[in-house]
Amino acid sequence: MNLLSKQRRLPEAADQHHDPRAPISIHDMTVAYHRRPVLWDIDFAAEEGRLIGIVGPNGAGKSTLIKACLDLIPKASGSIRIYGKPYKKQRQLVGYVPQRESIDWEFPINALDVVTMGTYGKIPWCFPPRKKHRTAAYEALEKVGMAEYAHRQISRLSGGQQQRVFLARALVQDAQLYLMDEPFAGVDAATESAIIALLKDLKARGRTVLVVHHDLQTVKSYFDDVILLNMRIVASGPTATTFTEENLRKTYGGKLTLLVEAAEAIARGGQENR
């Protein structure tokens, strides 16, 4: 468990569990799909200006954690604050890069229009995007080295190029906190180093980035902090001290079978209690 956030705990109202300076702080959160808990008792507080990797086996709830932070799925209990306020009030501060699989690549849209969507949060309902929004989108595409593909339909881009388009969309939101769901999945080496350069640049500008990550080899070189997740937070903190063999064994080893069984039992509604 994260010692820092535990020390900050105060017994009263929900807000007092959260440090208003933390880009994101999660208190005692449990998330369930169809009553089956997938995340238990998550406590976490991020420090500003850090690159934070979220690591864990398949089905550990990494994507769920990101989605819960964005209010995309309901929480069974607990609370999340972005700079001390609920997500609803802080949307402008958060940029999101969804998982590749969630995108319909055959949709009739080009790269520039995808990136322009990043500005929609600043445009009221019923108003079309203006020239300045498109310009901002184009500049974001330039930043990820994709300007020459601005008018290409997204299915005609390579996997790495597609990923860079979605990064550009998050960039154009000009957020303080970025949540990225497996941005390195299925990209070529060139894109991977481009993404890393981008993350370093965000960090240099004081942004905080949470990244769901699969490749254990690169965790140490990419991230300042790491969250080891397997239905609960096994360990979190600076990568140097947290990303240890023992913690990894706890995360990936079969030690959590009891927790899985408990979740199954809850999903059955306790009807078959033996």
Q: Which is nearer to other proteins, 10 or 88 (CB)?
A: 88
Give Cβ neighbours of residue 202 (< 8 Å, ≥ 6 apart): 51, 178, 209
Q: Which is nearer to other proteins, 120 or 252 (CB)?
A: 120
Q: Which is nearer to other proteins, 82 or 219 (CB)?
A: 82
| Cβ 6 to other proteins shortest distance, Å | 29
Which class for 35: exposed (0-12), middle (13-18), buried (19 or more C-beta within 10 A)? Answer: exposed
Strands 208-212 and 36-45: unpaired
CB 141 within 8 A of CB 115: yes
| Cβ 123 to other proteins shortest distance, Å | 7
| Cβ 117 to other proteins shortest distance, Å | 6
| Cβ 251 to other proteins shortest distance, Å | 26
Give the binding site for other proteins (CB under 8 A).
34, 67, 70-72, 88, 91, 94, 96, 98, 102-104, 107-110, 113-114, 117, 120-121, 123, 125-129, 153, 169
Closest of 149, 171, 172 to residue 161, by C-alpha: 149
What ranges make up the beta strands (E) of 164-224? Answer: 177-181, 208-212
Q: Which is nearer to other proteins, 58 or 102 (CB)?
A: 102
